[in-house]
Amino acid sequence: MCVAFVIVFVNNLHSAHGRAGTGGVSSGEAKQITCTGKVVDEQGRPVAKAKVGLYTLSVDYSVFSYEVELDREVTTQADGAFRFEKNLDESYLTGQTVIFAHKEGSALGWANWHLAKDKDVQIKLSPAKTLAGTVVDGSDKPIADAQVSVSFLMTPQIPGDDNPRYLVGQVAQKWFTTHTGADGKFVFDRIPADATAELLVEKAGRATISTLEPTGYQGGKLRFAAGQTDINLVMPPEATIKGIVVEKGTGKPAAGVKLMVMRGRNQPSFGMKPVVSQENGSFVFRALTAGKHLVQFVPVREELADWVVEPVEVTTETGKTTSDVKVEVSKGGILEVLVTEAESKKPIEDASVSVRDEQNDKWVGGQTGKDGIARMRLIPGEYQIRGAYKQGYARSQRQEVVTVEYGKTARMEWQLTGQPKITGTVCDPEDRAAEGVTLRVLPGGGEESTSDATGSWEVSWDPGLWGPEETVHYLVARHKERNLASAVLIDEDTRTLDIKLEPGVTFTGRVVDPNGKGLAGARILVYMSAGNWGSSISRDPEQTSADGDFEAKGIPADQKCYIYARADGYGQKSIRPDVSDIVDNRLDFGRITLALANLSVSGSVVDVDDEPVSNAEVYCYGEDQPHRNARTDSEGKFTLDGICAGPVRISANVSGKTRLHGYVETEGGATDVKVVVSESSSGTRYVPKRPPSLVGKTLPEMKDLNIDLPVETLENKIILVCFWDMQQRPSRHCVTQLAKQAEQLKQAGVTIIAVQASKVDGSALDEWLKKYDIPFPAGMVQGDANKTRFAWGVRSLPWLILTDRSHTVRAEGFGLSDVSSKIREIGDAK
């Protein structure tokens, strides 16, 4: 899972912070954030005179490269403390930093700091371990003077922090790079004792070896563990690709085209730098391993690319040159996405636009300029716009399909709304202003806020963060020290709220191993559930004492709450209490026994023809089992470490043009497990194929839509059908906006019909339509919702279908902003 982890890390940085990483701070506004922390030893004692450096990351999102630069360095005093402050309007920030701590005789320590919020961290300096091995050729002879680097270093999650700590690319290489001696040996020291790593080996004339394979990230661990000294890396002679870039159609050489080589559409070749075609169009990739490679264009995010390139697959052989590779470039088509503020209609600069190329199984990204437009030159075909985002704005779950054609520009508008802010006061049961109360929106939206001395507070949150169907949200206020709490139902229209705290519930218990010994440092997460979600009520978990005891205070008494207990090297346990067991606002969970996670499950993933499937994502689940994941290797094999004894479900997923899925039930410790994958959707329902387009076809009959509309009223009328879901915010927005245009469209001879695309309570639907004064007919699918949507060609919601006066479909899947232009294109509106 390592490669996927790195790619997600890069994409998240870009989408979360935009080009300058300003976190949504407006121009000229300097918002200061702070990272404080302490450097400690293994026993938790402060470390004085440790050097602590703040390093900023520069990320090239197109080629998955990371560069690091020292921003400032401080020395800890007797208390081991340090502090860094940053202004979010500094243009060179990428939104990501790494804080390194080092002292002679200790391993390197670090923490990752995303520049979006204040943070308090603890960096542990432990005794150093080594990582060593030998680099050899295909005949097992040592290779001298090869450069060996740590390309990825990870330590497991620590108590109070659910995120693994990682170093990637040049961030890791800055601290861990060496050269082999005459005997081919290399050694890294100062490796943290609990770290695992991946390596990169380079030498002129030899294939660059990256151990960062899809199979490397298993169960939260990389391939090589601290203390390992028998690593053997084979470095064969390089394979080479030589070719020429030409203009499609004319064959004219194209100079200045930046190319990169990938091991697959979603598998970057780490350590391989991009090349630029010469004046005669020629290019060369050296230091390649044998096998299949994909030569493709380096994507451009912040400006319009000069060309588009259709990827070329090339198979290389060890020590040989593959020549006469021809890469064709063209001007393709252009997609322009205008991103504006919903209320002011002003363009939004530095918003990230995500586009999915379903045909080629890849993502394309764009960045808006000062005019709010993201311009992308694309290979002609069908694309799905998955969303636009900028820090400080709410996410939208709307998806729209657009077709890009040669020599044409497709245009679309996307609106963003600011994240709702709620302000108010909080008081204790005696109606006195309560200071130091933490407030958090559930499920998991926004940052925690703390009330001041007057009890005042402000919380911003993102209603769309957890999906379009999450309609129930609570604002949870807690004062753990005083054991006070309250949970108040809110919605996206809530702007002010005064909260009165009530006595909270205290959860207690002891976490033990199978022998009954208390587990120190186990994490206890308190979850609250409502509707169809469960979310942690606190950003930080509780930790058990040296005897395994825990106490969690300030839990809302009138809500359904439960706990997760987990510890490194053990399974996990979820316990949902019976509220009748709460006595005097206390609930004792007793002894919670976690099973040892000392087994593994290994096997292979195959397709329905019993052929091995490489690069499949493999997961394991089960009652009291930890969640583990891995990827299959080139032979379809996988191993999941850290599994408990007992039943476990192993599932496998394969992404691509065709999505495959399968699972088996087995036991911890099982070997030779075979998972057979077959075609299915990425969700739980089976989708045999993509819905067919209705364009050019007669509109289907409406008998299964429960539309109360006489057929004769539709004669000689243009019909605009909107498939929507009242449980989805983008759908509700679409219908209410259509309602505002209804009279104008009626005058143009257009009849609007809304279709609720999933089964909901009929009275609730009628109530919503009445509340928002929807003036056009609205029905609801009556039979199998999936089959009905498939028959109508619905690929996402909301989905618009437009016919001419003879009721032949002329357009589908377009956005609200295109309604008028689509009607004009029909040419027969009044």
Give the per-residue SS3 of 595-631.
Answer: CECCEEEEEEEECCCCCECCCCEEEEECCCCCCEEEE
Is 50 exceeded by the pLDDT of residue 219? no
What gap in Å lies between CA 581 and CA 552, rounded to an integer? Answer: 16
Q: Hey, what amino acid is at 676? A: V
pLDDT, average across residues 431-435: 95
SS3 401: strand
Residue 280, domain member (yes or no):
yes
SS3 9: helix
SS3 687: coil
pLDDT, residue 5, reads 37
Q: How many domains does the chain have?
A: 8
CATH code of the domain containing 747: 3.40.30.10
Is 70 exceeded by the pLDDT of residue 15? no
Residue 687, domain member (yes or no):
no
493 band by pLDDT with thresholds 50, 70 and 90: confident
Q: Are residues 496 and 565 in the same domain?
A: no
List the alpha helices (DSSP H) in 488-588.
none
Exposure b/e, 662-693, CB count within 10 A at least 16 = b = bbbebebebeebebbbeebeeeeeeeeeeeee
The H or E element containing residue 564 is: strand 560-566
DSSP 483-544: TEEEEEEE-TT--EEEEE-EE-EEEEEEEE-TTS-B-TT-EEEEEEEETTEEEESSSS-EE-
Q: What count of other Cβ atoms lies within 10 Å of the Cβ of residue 830?
A: 8
Torsion sign across C-alpha atoms 419, 424, 427, 429: negative
CB 77 within 8 A of CB 96: no
Upstream peptide bond of 775 is cis (omega within 30 degrees of 0): no
Torsion of CA 270, 273, 274, 278, to 10 degrees: -150
pLDDT, residue 629, reads 81
Q: Are residues 589 and 611 in the same domain?
A: no
pLDDT, average across residues 795-804: 89
pLDDT, average across residues 440-464: 85
Residue 357, domain member (yes or no):
yes
Last residue of a domain, one of 185, 218, 234: 234
User: Which of these, 646, 14, 23, lies nearest to 392 by C-alpha position?
Assistant: 23
Q: What count of other Cβ atoms lies within 10 Å of the Cβ of residue 636?
A: 21
pLDDT, residue 117, reads 67
pLDDT, residue 13, reads 35
CB 98 within 8 A of CB 195: no
List the alpha helices (DSSP H) in 659-801.
729-747, 762-771, 785-791
What gap in Å lies between CA 590 and CA 593, rounded to an integer? Answer: 10
Say which residues have a Cβ less than 8 Å from residue 264's Cβ, sequence separation at least 6: 292, 294, 615
Q: Are residues 770 and 816 in the same domain?
A: yes
SS3 295: strand
Give the pLDDT confidence of 231-284 residue by residue, as tens digits: 999 999 999 999 999 999 899 999 999 999 987 655 666 678 889 999 999 999
Is 50 exceeded by the pLDDT of residue 90? no
Q: Hey, what amino acid is at 564? A: Y
pLDDT, residue 445, reads 60
Give the pLDDT confidence of 623-668 residue by residue, as tens digits: 889 888 888 887 889 888 889 999 999 999 887 667 789 999 999 9
533 band by pLDDT with thresholds 50, 70 and 90: confident
User: How is residue 712 written in tokens?
Assistant: 């004769």
360 band by pLDDT with thresholds 50, 70 and 90: low
- Strand-pairing partners, residue 661, are 653, 678
Q: Are residues 624 and 738 in the same domain?
A: no
CB 620 within 8 A of CB 628: yes
SS3 content of the chain, % helix, strand, coil (to 5): 10, 45, 45
Q: How many residues does the chain have?
A: 830
Is 60 exceeded by the pLDDT of residue 160? no
SS3 187: strand
Q: Are residues 733 and 789 in the same domain?
A: yes
DSSP 791-830: HTT--SSSEEEEE-TT-BEEEES--GGGHHHHHHHH----
Give the pLDDT confidence of 549-575 residue by residue, as tens digits: 999 999 999 888 999 999 888 999 999
| Beta strands in 161-274, from DSSP E residues, in sequence order | 165-168, 177-179, 185-191, 196-202, 209-210, 224-225, 231-234, 239-247, 258-264, 267-268
Exposure b/e, 727-757, CB count within 10 A at least 16 = b = bbbbbbbbbeebbebbeebeeeebbbbbbbb
- Strand-pairing partners, residue 298, are none
SS3 737: helix
SS3 768: helix
Burial class (CB in 10 A: 0-12, 13-18, 19+), 453: exposed
Is 90 exceeded by the pLDDT of residue 151? no
Q: Are residues 411 and 339 in the same domain?
A: yes
Q: Report the Cα 20 to chain-centroid distance in Å.
A: 20
> Which domain covers residue 624, as residue numbers?
599-679
pLDDT, average across residues 218-241: 85
Last residue of a domain, one of 660, 679, 698: 679
pLDDT, average across residues 610-620: 87
681 band by pLDDT with thresholds 50, 70 and 90: very low
- Strand-pairing partners, residue 491, are none
SS3 8: helix
User: Tokens 């909301």 — which residue?
Assistant: 798
pTM greater than 0.95 (yes/no): no
Is 80 exceeded by the pLDDT of residue 359? no
- Strand-pairing partners, residue 134, are 185, 232
pLDDT, residue 21, reads 32
Lowest mean pLDDT among 146-160, 361-375, 434-448, 534-548: 146-160
500 band by pLDDT with thresholds 50, 70 and 90: very high
Q: Report the Cα 131 to chain-centroid distance in Å.
A: 31
What does residue 823 show for φ and ψ, rounded to 5 degrees? -65, -40
Selected residue with higher pLDDT from 135 and 733: 135
pLDDT, residue 507, reads 95
Q: Are residues 585 and 674 in the same domain?
A: no
pLDDT, residue 309, reads 87
Upstream peptide bond of 612 is cis (omega within 30 degrees of 0): no
213 band by pLDDT with thresholds 50, 70 and 90: low
Q: Are residues 465 and 531 in the same domain?
A: no
pLDDT, residue 674, reads 92
pLDDT, average across residues 303-317: 89
Q: Report the Cα 484 to chain-centroid distance in Å.
A: 35
299 band by pLDDT with thresholds 50, 70 and 90: confident
DSSP 415-453: EE-BPPEEEEEEE-TTS-B--S-EEEEETTEEEEEE--T
Is 60 exceeded by the pLDDT of residue 683? no
CATH code of the domain containing 337: 2.60.40.1120
DSSP 86-155: EETT-TT--SEEEEEEE-TTB--EEEEEETTS-EEEEEE--B-EEEEEEEE-TTS-B-TT-EEEEEEEEE
Is 60 exceeded by the pLDDT of residue 8? no
pLDDT, residue 828, reads 52
Q: Are residues 172 and 285 in the same domain?
A: no
Rg (CA), the chain: 29
- Strand-pairing partners, residue 330, are 308
Selected residue with higher pLDDT from 171 and 664: 664
User: How is residue 659 written in tokens?
Assistant: 């999505």
The rounded mean pLDDT for the chain is 83
Lowest mean pLDDT among 65-74, 184-193, 265-274, 661-670: 265-274
- Cα distances (angstroms) measured from residue 816 to each of 417, 539, 765: 16, 38, 22
Q: Are residues 538 and 642 in the same domain?
A: no
pLDDT, residue 65, reads 56
Q: Hey, what amino acid is at 226? A: A
Say which residues have a Cβ less than 8 Å from residue 8's Cβ, sequence separation at least 6: none
Residue 529, domain member (yes or no):
yes
User: How is residue 759 written in tokens?
Assistant: 């089964």
Torsion of CA 153, 158, 160, 162, to 10 degrees: 50
Determine the straight-line distance between the first and last CA of the chain, rounded to whole angstroms.
57
Q: Are residues 554 and 621 in the same domain?
A: no
Percent of all residues in the chain with a pLDDT value above 90, rounded to a whole number: 43
What gap in Å lies between CA 175 and CA 128, rounded to an integer? Answer: 14
User: How is residue 419 written in tokens?
Assistant: 């994240």
pLDDT, average across residues 143-160: 81
Selected residue with higher pLDDT from 344 and 683: 344
12 HSE (CA, 13 A, CB side): 10
Strand order of the β-sheet with 799-803 is 778-780, 750-756, 718-724, 799-803, 809-812
Upstream peptide bond of 236 is cis (omega within 30 degrees of 0): no
Last residue of a domain, one of 627, 657, 679: 679
Residue 551, domain member (yes or no):
yes
DSSP 138-155: TTS-B-TT-EEEEEEEEE
Residue 360, domain member (yes or no):
yes
User: Tokens 């070896």 — which residue?
Assistant: 209
Q: Are residues 226 and 314 in the same domain?
A: no
